[in-house]
């Protein structure tokens, strides 16, 4: 019988679903993924998406079932504006948004692009307004009111986005939001941790405090400067936030944005919240973004790293040999094909054991007795140590040949 923590495709801890654990959760009825790869993801230093790149990524995002695509910022360049217009024209399925500064001219550009909605930004922290923008605070407020009011006149769904919101006074932030809602316009408000400085408990507190004062839907835009983007996003969702801003592979400014893959799979398996996308296409999407952005994820990156389902150690290879065929989630918490990853690979190296030798020998049509197998294990360990890497098939065959002929020199 399938349970939330154990299905044919995943096996996580049942403790995640204990009433004592879940009693204070306030999960929304539905979660939307608002993809920001084409805008904030491209802000990663050295990443450049052409118009065609953006269209290809947008098409794949639509194929995966992403709910919203933030296609770019029209004011950045004519090619960016052209890409947004073309993505809108193709009517791919997801809602198409673009990003604007709190400037009426930016909103006009968004209208010309034909997008359904905008994410409209304003600096929120006193230090950023004073030190980075060199503005008087009242200017930030006035710009916000004028630009959002104009967006409403144009029929755009308007998401108000306060830069550096987590390093400002809460009362000041809530007053700003209230003024913009009353004197300007907003359909939703984004909780923004621009510099990734929020703790998971701070994310929960932030969400709850805003929900007390703001009656609009809440969106989440968190960065990963401390590696907490996923954790903070999850905590905000558990406190009632409804829309997640994330990027494919977590690309983005500095240490990047909240990675979409880890976020949606955590919600699915550990919290029973299916965001409704095609999880089997996550690796296709990840590889496309890596190729077009010129970036790479670490080989052991969860679910999408090349080595996420690779084994070298002898003990784990034994688990794989005995359990994987009939019970794959005993060895891997999420089955590789569920996320579109290739089948597990067994490596040959310093940590390998007799089970590695058995699997490789069978694949290569080699027969070894028990004594020979143990001798090959020792030679493999030494060779891998000296080379400081795993071995390839020809190197393994050479070791087998030496053992078979009794020549180990």
Rounding to the nearest 10 degrees, give the CA dihedral for residues 146, 223, 218, 105.
Answer: 20
Query: Strands 310-311 and 32-35, how do they pair?
Result: unpaired
Residues 269 and 360 occupy one common structural domain: no
27: exposed, middle or buried (Cβ count in 10 Å: 0-12, 13-18, 19+): middle
Number of folded domains that form the chain? 2
Task: State residue 135's pLDDT score.
Answer: 62
How far apart, in whole angstroms, are the C-alpha atoms of residue 217 and residue 213? 12
111: exposed, middle or buried (Cβ count in 10 Å: 0-12, 13-18, 19+): middle
Q: What is the CATH number of the domain that holds 182?
A: 3.20.20.70
Helix (H, G, I), strand (E, B) or coil at 396: helix
Task: State residue 233's pLDDT score.
Answer: 98
Question: What integer best gives the mean pLDDT of the chain?
Answer: 93
Helix (H, G, I), strand (E, B) or coil at 319: helix
Residues 328 and 187 occupy one common structural domain: no
Sign, CA dihedral 238-242-245-248, equals positive
Q: What percent of the chain has pLDDT over 70?
A: 96
299 pLDDT higher than 50: yes
Task: State residue 144's pLDDT score.
Answer: 83
Q: Has residue 31 been placed in a domain?
A: yes
Q: Are 256 and 229 in contact (CB under 8 A)?
A: yes
Residues 223 and 93 occupy one common structural domain: yes
Q: Of 245, 266, 293, which marks where a domain is finished?
A: 293
Task: State residue 137's pLDDT score.
Answer: 64
Q: Has residue 329 been placed in a domain?
A: yes
Residues 219 and 316 occupy one common structural domain: no
Helix (H, G, I), strand (E, B) or coil at 69: strand
Helix (H, G, I), strand (E, B) or coil at 13: coil
Residues 43 and 181 occupy one common structural domain: yes
Domain residues for 246? 14-293
Q: Has residue 304 been placed in a domain?
A: no
């Amino acid at each position: 019988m399938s349970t939330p923590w154990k299905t044919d495709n995943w096996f996580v801890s049942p403790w995640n679903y204990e009433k004592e654990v879940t009693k204070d959760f306030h999960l929304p009825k539905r979660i939307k993924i608002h993809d920001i790869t084409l805008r904030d993801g491209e802000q990663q230093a050295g990443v450049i998406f052409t118009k065609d790149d953006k269209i290809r990524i947008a098409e794949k995002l639509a194929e995966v079932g992403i709910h919203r695509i933030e296609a770019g910022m029209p004011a950045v360049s004519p090619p960016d504006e052209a890409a947004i217009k073309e993505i809108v024209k193709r009517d791919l399925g997801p809602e198409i948004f673009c990003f604007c500064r709190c400037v009426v001219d930016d909103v006009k550009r968004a209208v010309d692009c034909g997008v359904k909605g905008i994410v409209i930004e304003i600096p929120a922290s006193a230090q950023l307004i004073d030190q980075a923008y060199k503005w008087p605070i009242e200017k930030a407020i006035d710009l916000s009111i004028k630009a959002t009011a104009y967006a409403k006149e144009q029929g755009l769904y308007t998401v108000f986005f306060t830069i550096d919101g987590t390093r400002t006074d809460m009362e000041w932030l809530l007053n700003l939001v209230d003024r913009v809602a009353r004197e300007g316009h907003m359909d939703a408000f984004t909780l923004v941790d621009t510099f990734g400085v929020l703790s998971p408990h701070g994310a929960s507190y932030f969400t709850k405090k805003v929900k007390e004062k703001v009656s609009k839907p809440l969106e989440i835009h968190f960065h990963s400067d401390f590696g907490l983007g996923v954790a903070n996003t999850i905590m905000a969702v558990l406190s009632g936030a409804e829309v997640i801003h994330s990027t494919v592979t977590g690309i983005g400014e500095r240490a990047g944005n909240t990675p979409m893959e880890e976020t949606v799979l955590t919600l699915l398996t550990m919290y029973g919240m299916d965001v409704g996308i095609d999880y089997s296409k996550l690796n296709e999407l990840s590889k496309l973004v890596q190729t077009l952005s010129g970036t790479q994820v670490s080989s052991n990156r969860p679910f999408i790293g090349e080595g996420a389902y690779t084994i070298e150690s002898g003990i784990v290879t034994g688990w794989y040999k005995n359990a994987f065929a009939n019970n794959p989630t005993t060895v891997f918490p999420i089955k590789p094909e569920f996320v579109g990853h290739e089948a597990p690979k067994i490596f040959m190296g310093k940590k390998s054991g007799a089970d590695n030798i058995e699997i490789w020998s069978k694949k290569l049509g080699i027969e070894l007795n028990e004594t020979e197998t143990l001798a090959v294990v020792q030679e493999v360990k030494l060779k891998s140590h000296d080379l400081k890497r795993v071995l390839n098939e020809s190197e393994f065959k050479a070791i087998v040949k030496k053992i078979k002929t009794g020549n180990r020199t």
